[in-house]
Structure 1
Amino acid sequence: MLFLVGALLVLGVVLGAVAHVPAPVSAVAGLAIALWLALFATRERFAAHRRAGRLDHGRGGVR
């Protein structure tokens, strides 16, 4: 319950800050966050494939 209250508080602070900056600044910040998330997802996908390959090799290739 405290986590939910904290998350809503942080969301309110972030949305309040975005409401007071110019639209182009918000757009650039949103684009930067989207790019960071895309890079993170790509790294995690490739890391998962490497981990899965390593686990298969350790068990003789049998899943």
Structure 2
Amino acid sequence: MIVLVVALLLLGIVLGAVAQIPLPLSLVLGALIGTWLLVFAVRERMGAQRRSR
């Protein structure tokens, strides 16, 4: 859960900095954070399925 909080905090920092950094860099950082969140969600779902068996 703490990883998710940190990810959302980093997303907020990056979104707050979007006005200060170039658009391509903003898009790359957003894609990286989105990928990290997607991997996190998949790992959590797989772990929940293993525990429910």
RMSD, aligned α-carbons: 1.5
* 1:37 has 2:3 as partner: no
Q: Distance in 1 between matches of 2:14 and 2:28?
A: 15
- Listed one character per residue, the Cα deviations across residues 2-57 of structure 1 (whole Å, up to 9, x for unaligned) are xxxxxxxxx5x65441111000000000000110010000000000000101xxxx
Identity among equivalent positions (%) equals: 52
Letter in 2 for 1:44: E
Higher RCO, Cα 8 Å, sep 6+: 2
Task: Name the larger-Rg structure.
Answer: 1
Show structure 1 runs of 5+ residues with no match.
1-10, 54-63
Q: How many residue pairs are counted as aligned between the two chains? A: 42
Moved over 6 A (4+): none
Normalising by the residue count of structure 2, what TM-score does the alignment of the two structures yield? 0.69
The residue type paired with residue 24 of structure 1 is P
Structure 2 unaligned residues grouped into runs of 5+: 1-11
